[in-house]
Structure 1
Amino acid sequence: MASLKSGMGSLRELLVDVKTLSGWAAKGIIAAPLVDVLLGFGPPWPRQLPVITSCAELLTLLLVLSYLGGRSAKALTGSMSKFAAVTGFCFIAYAVLSSQLIFTAPTGERFSSGLSIRPDISPLITASYTPTEALRDGGWDPEAVWTRGSITAARTAMILVWISMFCSFVACLGIFALRGKTVRHATRDPSAR
């Protein structure tokens, strides 16, 4: 329980800190998924995903501050490198998934396609009649072209990669703040190295 209390204290310090880059960045990154409400670059389903992502980021930041708080600067740097690699991987994975699985109807509505075309539609798909054309002819209803299970799988993959991308990024930010605190403490107290 002491670890959770120290994490809450560290989180409070980070969020109240308006003088440093890490204080501003923590607030910004937790709010970043909410920008998706206006810009629409995230997964199209569920509509509440920006709020869910921000909550997951806050939980991630709390866990990072709670469980990595006493580590050395070297250990924190190693952890930060790993989370940065996960962030990069998730960014690339989301870019690929979204480019392949998100369609926009003429009305501007965005939706997820699926991974597997329905058996009754599959014979119709040729080089001259694409799934996008079948989707248009099906009234822009993804279930008219793809199986329901494959639509769910596509949505789930995009959601998991999206949330992982933001959570790993906020973990980097939290570790960065901890590392700065550890280095400042070690500078003031040489015996703490």
Structure 2
Amino acid sequence: QGFFDIPVDHLYGSAVFVDAIRHIHIDNLLIVAPDMGSIKRARAYASKLGCGLAVIDKRRAQANQSEVMNIIGDVKGKNVILVDDMADTAGTLVNAAVALHERGALEVRAACTHGIFSGQALERIAHSDIVEFLVTDTIYHDPKLLHEKITTISVAPGFADAIRRIYTDDSISTLFTE
């Protein structure tokens, strides 16, 4: 798709995150899109988890810096999970956590498929209002360097299942449905 002239299948991290979130048993759960570009993803999580949705309207002052502008939706008294595709400097998610707490959210978690964690990202997360940061292992990080707030979830079983299904000519679409 795009640059390839062979079939390509997109594998999403949402399946492992939804399963992990269900095992946490969070009351008053609310999924939050940290920016307008994450709304579709956040809506899918909220639908699968049977909970509400809020959106943060923000703008970037410059590359790798974000400023939270407005929260669309009621977060007061909610335990929220910010869902995003990647965390580079983690500034967006950390700033979002501050804004969510200021507006009455109880606990703030984050779920991010690709943890790039450049610059001071790990330190920023360690000192943030985020109580738990779920990330997949699509990018390796030495566990000794990760703060206890960071929970790494393996995508290997899902990838292995997808490879098996492709090899046996089975559909992989059922990987993305419940």
TM-score, normalised with respect to structure 2: 0.27
TM-score, normalised with respect to structure 1: 0.26
Q: Which has the higher contact order (CA 8 A, sep 6+)?
A: 1
Question: Which of the pair has more CA radius of gyration?
Answer: 1
Q: If each structure's helix is expressed as a fraction of its own residues, which one has the higher value?
A: 1
